[in-house]
Amino acid sequence: MSKINHIPLILNDLKLHYNFKSNTDFAKFLGIAPQTLSSWYSRCSVDYELLYAKCVGIDANWLLTGAGAMLREEKKEEIISENTISVVDNNSMGFILDRYEALAAENALLKQEVEQLKQSRGKYPDTIPYTDSTQKLSTSLAAEPAHK
């Protein structure tokens, strides 16, 4: 089953699993507009993070691929943080770790970009700060007649 073509089937299976009679009820459950859900069906595109967060107990691999069991298996791992213990299944753990690695890489790139912007700020001393140019621009535009 291709990734794109399975999305309407996934949505229908989720709707049936949660016993929603209509797409409107399903959309309310997801916290989206019915039109958004309709576009997910027609465009074969969904917000996976939203679905995974709202549809508790759904297997991440099934959600992404349509393959395997819809519900998470009973294999569990405990994740211990400072004051809480959460239970996450093995499939979800892989998804979480992959997402963490992607976000960490994106964060590193953003930090580099911030440093480059900080370094380039001193290279152009003749430029006017954004707020000053905005004020002068709006003043000069207001003073000019609309038609000559």
The C-alpha atoms of residue 95 and residue 105 are separated, in whole angstroms, by 16
Is it the case that residue 123 has pLDDT exceeding 80? no
**pLDDT over 50 (residue 14):** yes
For residues 112, 115, 119 and 125, what is the CA-based torsion angle, rounded to 10 degrees? 120
Residue with more model confidence, 5 or 53: 53
The model scores a pTM over 0.95: no
In the chain, pLDDT over 70 holds for what percent of residues? 67
| Model confidence pLDDT, tens digit, residues 30-75 | 999 999 999 999 988 899 999 998 988 888 888 888 888 888 875 4
Strand-pairing partners, residue 88, are 77
